[in-house]
Amino acid sequence: MDPTAPRYAVVAGTFDTKARELVFLRDCLAAMGVATRTVDLSTQGRGAGVDVTAEEVAACHPQGAAAVFTGDRGSAVIAMAQAFEHWVRGRDDIAGLLSAGGSGATALATPAMRALPVGVPKLMVSTVASGDVRPYVGPSDICMMYSVTDVQGLNRISQRVLANAAHAMGGMVRERAEFTSTKPAIGLTMFGVTTPCVQAMTALLEPDYDCLVFHATGTGGQSMEKLADSHLLAKKFKAIQRA
């Protein structure tokens, strides 16, 4: 990726039903001086005034736009989520990804968020964020923010929550921290009774290795595997130890 090329915070969602809320997010980011791109994920292609239309996103589906605009909401949501993930994978100018909505919008946006490398800001404002979010977050570093009220209209609560989300995304994009290490990386998993052993190993290895410890809860192991494919580990893991 060309480091001098423009990069954008993507505001994605169903602009046919959530345009006011998504435009509010975009405007908050713009007020901070953050460049944005709005992307419509409407499964009926009725969003307007966006930078990237639903038709453009749907065309990225392996079977084409016809696989998305089926008229059946269930299959359309699944297909649009796949198309958006392909759209995201095909870009190198995404500085962050922000979305807001209910269960449908969350299912639409989070697969693409998971496709982004660890470290790229990802924030989902969702009505389901106070429940079991594992199906949406998976092994990725997605920030889930509970919307409190439904993402339906702008009011004294939704405006504050959405503004906080936009400013959080803006802060992550504008003040993105970069950490590098010339040490070879070692992945270790740790769980309960293995903690003293892993801590002792880490203390011995840290002078020469960058020790990345993961909680062996299942998802932690998946996170280690995802990170192994990330741009953050250009030389991959030197070694992996599993609890």
Of 127, 142, 174, the residue at which a domain comes to its end is: 174
d(CA 228, CA 135): 21
Q: List per-residue pLDDT tens for the chain, 243 residues long.
A: 445 557 999 999 999 999 999 999 999 999 999 999 999 999 987 878 999 999 999 999 999 999 999 989 999 999 999 999 999 999 999 999 999 999 999 999 999 999 998 889 999 999 999 999 999 998 889 999 999 999 999 999 999 999 999 999 999 999 877 767 778 888 888 887 888 888 888 898 888 888 888 887 777 767 777 676 655 554 555 555 555
Phi-psi region of 233 (alpha: psi -120 to 50; beta: other; left: phi over 0): beta
CB 151 within 8 A of CB 125: yes
Containing structural domain, residue 219: 185-241
Q: What is the pLDDT of residue 107?
A: 96
Q: What is the pLDDT of residue 110?
A: 98
Quick one: which H or E segment has residue 74?
helix 73-89
Q: What is the pLDDT of residue 1?
A: 46
> b/e per residue, 146-158, with b = 16+ CB within 10 A?
ebeeebeeeeeeb
Output the six-digit token pair for 180: 């590098």
Beta carbons within 8 Å of 110's beta carbon, 6+ residues apart? 99, 124, 136, 137, 142
Q: What is the pLDDT of residue 217?
A: 72
Task: Quickly list DSSP for 151-215.
Answer: SSS--HHHHHHHHHHHHHHHHHHHT-------SPEEEEEE-GGGHHHHHHHHHHHTTTSEEEEEE
CB-CB neighbours of 114 under 10 Å: 18
Say yes or no: 47 and 160 in one domain: yes
Q: What is the pLDDT of residue 242?
A: 58
> b/e per residue, 37-50, with b = 16+ CB within 10 A?
bbbbbbbebebeeb
Say yes or no: 32 and 129 in one domain: yes
Q: What is the pLDDT of residue 229?
A: 63
Task: Please tell me the total count of domains within the chain.
Answer: 2
Say yes or no: 113 and 212 in one domain: no
Q: Does residue 209 lie within any of the structural domains?
A: yes
Say yes or no: 204 and 224 in one domain: yes
Say yes or no: 127 and 158 in one domain: yes
The burial of 66, by beta-carbon neighbours within 10 Å (0-12 exposed, 13-18 middle, 19 or more buried), is given as exposed
Q: What is the pLDDT of residue 115?
A: 94
Q: What is the pLDDT of residue 240?
A: 57
Say yes or no: 118 and 221 in one domain: no
Say yes or no: 22 and 46 in one domain: yes
Q: Does residue 222 lie within any of the structural domains?
A: yes
Q: What is the pTM of this model?
A: 0.83
Say yes or no: 139 and 226 in one domain: no
